[in-house]
Structure 1
Amino acid sequence: MGSTLLPITMESRSTPTLSSATAMPNPMNNDQLFAGCRYQEQPGAPHKTALAYASSQINGARLIECPFFPHGWALDTRRKERAFFFEKHGTGAGVFDLQQQRFVRTIPPFDQRQFYGHGVLAGAGELLLSTESDPQGQGFIGMRDTNTLRYLGDFPSFGARPHDCHLVDNGRVLAVTNGGAKAGESPAPCISYIDVETHQLLDRHDMPGSAFNTGHMVPVSGSTALIASAPRLGLGVDHEGAVSWCHRSEATLRGMPYPQDRLPRLLGEALSIALLPHERLAVVTHPTPGVLTFWRLDDQSLWHSMPVDNVRGVALAGDGHSLWLSHGAQGSLSILRMDGREPSVQPVLRQAPMAGSHLLNYPVALATALASPA
């Protein structure tokens, strides 16, 4: 394991096998896409886990085998080929070489901790921070030396079951989503803003009510962030998710109403978020109903929605105006264009294995990380 690169296809709706992916006319240019994957070498075989990779250079998709199901990542801005991926709610994490498309090594969890899916590099890239929890769900931010991966200690996430995290305020503050305890129990889901140097809580913003967790977030500025939520722990996909805004001047998150005359019931989680900065829009995926929602950044209102089957991952394309989407039962890739009055979706790679929660466009994400103080 580690350096095996496998071409794949999906030959049925339920069982992926190893062969070649079905490519459509390819507008990928220099984009390189990565996403978590579970697959079988043949029908009835045990499921394996991998990081799936697609680019115009290979005209399809391949698998980088690894011992866990990758969810979120942190990019090394000093050794640009390195990326750290984390399992969601599990003991798996590891280092990948994205330029060589190979798995390098695992990152062991501390004590009885579990990784909770995301991480970020701080301290001029010298410190790897990751969301973690103990067996009771208490949240921590683990600290590791970026070069050696030696565990350096931790500080509280100031909530339960922390998941996503981002640096704001020129790298001085860590914003964390804490998913919270089960519905009806404490602590509540919240967003915590933590001083990276002192590890002190600066401010905390609770999710009102007991229906939603706080899952993924995208900072729009140092004082505003968009939040995507699943139903609260213990509630199933027959409950709705949510899209909310966090304003650091307000004590609680501000939920966005779903206009019933414009949207179906958005059951299950609101999952991935991407910004279209030139269009001043945020785009959120809703896999269970198969819907994309578009939110205006300027007045934080719903602009548009459109159906896309089981849409999960979303990432900004290299042109800065389009979005990559992973969707469908087999993780197909499509590109969403914003060149008309309404968005349009063009299939690019059918039956690819990009079925993880998120989609990484490596060149774009790396350029963004290099431009952002850590």
Structure 2
Amino acid sequence: MTTLLPPSLIDRRGFLKAAGAGFAAALLPHQTMALDRTDAVFATAFQRRDGGYGVAVLSEAREIVYSTALPDRGHDVTFDPVSGRSVVFARQPGTFMVVFDHSGREKTRTIASVENRHFFGHGVFAGDGALLYATENDFDNAAGMVGVYDARDGFRRIGEFPTYGVGPHELLLLGDGRTLAIANGGIETHPDFGRAKLNLPTMKPSFAFVDRLTGALMEQHFLPPALHKLSIRHIALDGDGAVWFGCQHEGPATERPLLVGKARQGEELVLVEMPDDVLAGFRNYIGSVAANPAAGTIAVSSPQGNRYAVIEARSGRVLADKPLVEVCGLAPDDGGFRATTGTGDILAADGSETVLDDYAWDNHLLRIG
């Protein structure tokens, strides 16, 4: 099967074409110059030091070229290169997603979750941009769901299907354009109890492959029973079609389970061995996973451990282990990775760095170019 690049990867020219003249005209002069100097843009949610929330588009030169306010804390962003629109999702257990259109053809709009559902912070567009899929919580029944939204009809919710697990988090679309890979974290939550984890003794994380058109379960994989407290959370697709995943361990802090693995249809889940010092440095928490298919590498971050690591995708060998305070956001950047932090740091792959003190960047960073 041929692996396609994720739909978020387009070049600058394609981004500007999708954005249209309205976007370019609305930029301040220094923002226009920033876009002129860049080959890529990056999107991320943030919190300002004054307490306000928003989402920003950053240039390759680490300058803010677009931002809009959010009603509360955001989590991840997905982009549709067909329409040029992006969607940022509320952090669990948030009940909004915000659609922002760089072209200026549409006003920013807020879409509320339906009754008895909340978002888990992630979503993905179909390849043609017609539908948006979002992980949601049917909290009264402790069941994970994928909400289906018609992106060509005001993001009207037109249906849902199960994730075949509890506490789904990130999902992505595989290269066939039809299969969704879904990380079911296994943790039961209910908004009446905030972010409290209600089922730790019995949690059962899983990795599911689901047909986005029929909602049918194609495959489901579980970790060994001894690792049932290893919550599968974030995922990324490498250049060979394998889905890499990062976990958060809900067991005793003294335990040191492997935290990173990969999944492939027709095969069992594989956990990747790491040197003891690297594994211990993550403090049982992987906050983000990103792939650089061109470089053949994967990056994983731990804001709890204040570090991130780069892994060779083919061998699983750790190539680099880097300290960075409150690092979480990761995105492919030339031959390496760009990282963002809760202290306002933006670190490019070449080592150049900018700190915007007024901003705490949230957990994820999306490359749009």
- Output the TM-score relative to the length of structure 1: 0.77
1:302-313 to structure 2, matched below 5 A, reads 302-313=318-329
Residues 314 and 354 from structure 1, CA distance in 2 versus in 1: closer, same or farther, beyond 3 angstroms?
farther
Secondary structure at the counterpart of residue 359 of structure 2: coil
1:178-327 to structure 2, matched below 5 A, reads 178-181=184-187, 182-186=199-203, 188-208=204-224, 209-220=227-238, 224-232=242-250, 242-251=259-268, 253-261=269-277, 264-317=280-333, 320-327=334-341
d(CA) in 2 for partners of 1:58, 1:282: 22
Residues 258 and 300 from structure 1, CA distance in 2 versus in 1: closer, same or farther, beyond 3 angstroms?
closer
The CA RMSD over aligned residues, in Å, is 3.2
CA deviation profile, 1:201-236 (whole Å, cap 9, x unmatched): 01001133123101111122675211011123xx58
- Residues 195, 202 of structure 1: 8 Å contact kept: yes
1:157-168 to structure 2, matched below 5 A, reads 157-168=163-174
The farther-off stretch of 138-147 and 67-76 is 67-76
Aligned to 2:145: 140
The farther-off stretch of 152-161 and 239-248 is 239-248
Matched, 1:332 2:326: no
The AA in structure 2 aligned to 1:226 is W
Aligned to 1:356: 362
Aligned to 1:21: none
Secondary structure at the counterpart of residue 364 of structure 2: coil
The AA in structure 1 aligned to 2:144 is G
- Residues 45, 77 of structure 2: 8 Å contact kept: no
Aligned to 1:11: none
- For residue 126 of structure 2, the aligned residue among 116, 122, 125 is 122
CA deviation profile, 1:118-137 (whole Å, cap 9, x unmatched): 11122632111111011243
Residues 83 and 335 from structure 1, CA distance in 2 versus in 1: closer, same or farther, beyond 3 angstroms?
same
d(CA) in 2 for partners of 1:303, 1:26: 32
The AA in structure 2 aligned to 1:245 is K
Secondary structure at the counterpart of residue 165 of structure 2: strand
The AA in structure 2 aligned to 1:326 is T
The AA in structure 2 aligned to 1:219 is L
Secondary structure at the counterpart of residue 143 of structure 1: strand
Uncovered stretches (5+) of structure 1, i.e. residues with no partner: 8-24, 42-46, 338-344, 365-374
- Residues 36, 356 of structure 1: 8 Å contact kept: yes
CA deviation profile, 1:68-103 (whole Å, cap 9, x unmatched): 3221223223211x1111112110211112355997
Aligned to 2:98: 94
Residues 79 and 361 from structure 1, CA distance in 2 versus in 1: closer, same or farther, beyond 3 angstroms?
same
Aligned to 2:45: 36
- Residues 333, 352 of structure 1: 8 Å contact kept: no
Residues 249 and 352 from structure 1, CA distance in 2 versus in 1: closer, same or farther, beyond 3 angstroms?
farther
Aligned to 2:4: none
Residue 52 of structure 1: how far off its partner (Å): 2.9
d(CA) in 2 for partners of 1:316, 1:217: 14
Aligned to 1:370: none
Residues 112 and 151 from structure 1, CA distance in 2 versus in 1: closer, same or farther, beyond 3 angstroms?
same
Residues 55 and 239 from structure 1, CA distance in 2 versus in 1: closer, same or farther, beyond 3 angstroms?
farther
The AA in structure 2 aligned to 1:178 is N
Aligned to 1:74: 78
